[in-house]
Amino acid sequence: MSQLNQILLVDDEKDNCLALTTLLRQTGYRISAVHSGEAALELLQDQPYDLIISDLFLPGISGIDILKRVKETSPRTCFILITGNASAETAVEAMKEGAFDYITKPFNFEKLKLQVAKALEKSQLIAENIYLRQQLHGRYRFDKIIGISEPMQKVFSRMEKVAATDSTILILGASGTGKELVAKAIHYNSHRREKPFVAINCGAIPADLLESELFGHVRGAFTSANADKPGKFEVANGGTIFLDEIGNMPLQLQMKLLRVLQEYEFERVGSSRRIRLNVRLISATNVDLAAAVKKGEFREDLYYRLNVIPITLPPLSERRGDIPLLVRHFLEAICRTMNRPLMPISREALQAIESYVWPGNVREMENVIERTVALAEGETITLADLPSYIAEVESASLVPSTQLPESGTNMPALIAEIEQQLILQALGRSHGVKARAAELLGINRTTLVEKMKRLKIS
């Protein structure tokens, strides 16, 4: 993203316009100059400007009219008004409409140059914020979450349905499956996307501090409360709050959270002043909350409040068809971050990655790929570059043992295990395309589908 430093001058007094044009061009800016509001609006249809300097009073379309139009169509453009001393009060009023500053006649050129520099700096900051927000929205588009497997397609379908609502969502899944990534994608595809997304890990904060972190406190509420502090709910107001690992929330705090969800208001710790709340709640856990309710470790009424729309993320072991895509994605991202060419991966290394069970799920894979790229000896990732516990899985899986133990064996179970391994590897290499996987296995597609159903392979 580059700074244009394009300035548009609008003044019906041609001498003033010429003087300002000469001054600002000498300072290094690119200047366009027109003498009416109509001409300014015509230029604005085709050309973005960082700054507009316009006379307040123009024949026909006034400087205020131009300002209002610019604020509607180009939020990054700053606006400085030119006015006579007698109309300075009017110019101040115009600043309430969004003008950055105003200058009075006759001009103080040194002051003007300073005002222009500050306006352009603000314009650049606004542009950078817009750019970063667009990048953030792009990063958390649904199609940025990697997955072509059937379990992930079900997840995407539910995400798309709930994003447009304000319904409370509970994301279930093992550690490392991407629960926060899904929560962010839902937020940035909702009508709350311009408001804050605030995440807090309920399991990472001591129980005696969690209430203050969530709801804030006032000065003197407890020993170390030296000043007022807003909590996460207050910061997230208007947007989305994501409570990760909510299964670890203490019972006494669960009651306060339930009351907040029922009444849509809360008080800071140590205060009786109620704060109204307009926030969407998305929570996540790797704990079986239904089982926790039965054990008395989680409130049943809160569980039903949270579990309005559940989204269950499958472990990586149940979406093996996505593994080659994930490997490619992480290789591209990590090589880009390390400023090195994309590293290809050998067939044997990919087979090992496909065969490994990935107990830490997608997060574990990302860490392994990063370490492998950083430590690889050559330009291609080979089996030798992978951690030994992954490489050994491949060598063990290539040649299943056919030695009959002294105590005998369960042959149907052993055959089923071998079938499952081969089918998962075929699905991985074929990117989940069943017809191609069946071809690799030397069976027809119908037989493959029947085996997948029998072996409970998604």
Taking all residues of the chain, what is their mean pLDDT, rounded to a whole number? Answer: 84
Fold equal for 6-136 and 142-314: yes
Query: pTM value?
Result: 0.60
pLDDT for res 12 = 86
Architecture of domain 317-392: Orthogonal Bundle (1.10)
Query: Is it the case that residue 133 has pLDDT exceeding 60?
Result: no
Of the candidate ranges 15-24, 44-53, 382-391, 415-424, the one whose mean pLDDT is the lowest: 415-424
pLDDT for res 458 = 65
Q: How far apart are CA 253 and CA 272, in angstroms?
A: 17
Query: Is it the case that residue 33 has pLDDT exceeding 60?
Result: yes
Read off the pLDDT of residues 39-66 as tens digits, 9 standing for 90 and up. 888 888 777 788 999 888 888 888 888 8
Architecture of domain 6-136: 3-Layer(aba) Sandwich (3.40)
Q: How is 216-255 classified by DSSP, letter by letter?
A: -B-TTSSTT--S-B--HHHHTTTSEEEEETGGGS-HHHHH
pLDDT for res 146 = 83
pLDDT for res 403 = 59
User: Are the C-beta atoms of 62 and 91 separated by less than 8 Å?
Assistant: no
Q: How far apart are CA 82 and CA 62, in angstroms?
A: 12
pLDDT for res 399 = 44
User: Are the C-beta atoms of 171 and 145 separated by less than 8 Å?
Assistant: no
Q: How far apart are CA 390 and CA 365, in angstroms?
A: 11
Query: Is it the case that residue 193 has pLDDT exceeding 80?
Result: yes
Task: Using pLDDT thresholds of 50, 70 and 90, give the confidence band for residue 2.
Answer: very low
| CA-to-CA dists, residue 81 to 218, 226, 239, 357, 381, angstroms | 43, 44, 35, 65, 61
Domain positions in the chain are 6-136, 142-314, 317-392, 400-458
Query: Is it the case that residue 139 has pLDDT exceeding 60?
Result: no
Determine the residue type at 67: L
Query: Is it the case that residue 137 has pLDDT exceeding 60?
Result: no
Q: Compute the average pLDDT of residues 117-146.
A: 67
- Max mean pLDDT range (33-42, 80-89, 103-112, 279-288): 279-288
pLDDT for res 143 = 58
Of the candidate ranges 235-244, 259-268, 437-446, the one whose mean pLDDT is the lowest: 437-446
Task: Using pLDDT thresholds of 50, 70 and 90, give the confidence band for residue 142.
Answer: low
Q: Is 400-458 CATH 1.10.10.60?
A: yes
**CATH class (in words) of the domain with range 142-314:** alpha beta
Task: Using pLDDT thresholds of 50, 70 and 90, give the confidence band for residue 70.
Answer: confident
